[in-house]
Amino acid sequence: MDVSAPLPSPAPLLSLPTLQGWARRSWAFSQTVQFGNAVIIAFFLAQALDGALTYVGVSTLGRSIEGNPLLFWLMGTAGQGPALALAKLSAAGFGIVLHLASVHRAVAILTVLYVAAAVMPWIAVISFLAARGLI
């Protein structure tokens, strides 16, 4: 009697159990203290860069270049420096609340959003102005 088992078929490159394991490890890492601390520091740096670059841009081009209507109004009411300080300290405070609530992924997403939607555009505008000799 000849009994043989079927030959195993090659496993797909990323099988469902592999993806589930990766997702679990990723979730576990995003809940670690080290990840949370790194993310909140990156968030603070993004806030500081955004504030500094916004101040340079608004001082050079006027507050009408500011895209945030609330910040535009606040700059007209309190002045550029105090308005930016209030906005950035408020954002940092909310970031701390999220960090203390261990919502590190939200802080990470907000950090990426700030870098992509605030810091990088200001760097582009200021670089353009500097290249033209306007700063």
Query: What pLDDT is attached to residue 93?
Result: 96
Q: Which residues of 12-50 are buried (b: 16+ CB within 10 A; e: fewer)?
A: eeeeeeeeeeeeeeeeeeeeeeebbeebbebbbebbebb
Specify the residue for token string 């200021």. 126
Query: What pLDDT is attached to residue 134?
Result: 79
DSSP 7: P
Q: d(Cα 98, Cα 101) in Å, to the nearest integer?
A: 5
pLDDT along the chain (135 residues), means of 10: 63 58 56 88 97 94 91 95 96 95 93 95 93 85
Domain ranges of the chain: 32-131
Residue 20 — φ and ψ, nearest 5°? -65, -40
* Angle (nearest 5°) at CA 133 between 50 and 127: 30
- Is pTM, for the whole model, over 0.95? no
| Beta-carbon-side half-sphere exposure of residue 29 (alpha carbons within 13 Å) | 9
Query: What pLDDT is attached to residue 3?
Result: 67
Query: What pLDDT is attached to residue 135?
Result: 76
Query: What pLDDT is attached to residue 32?
Result: 80
Q: d(Cα 130, Cα 134) in Å, to the nearest integer?
A: 6
Closest CA to 54 of 108, 131, 121: 121
Q: d(Cα 89, Cα 49) in Å, to the nearest integer?
A: 13
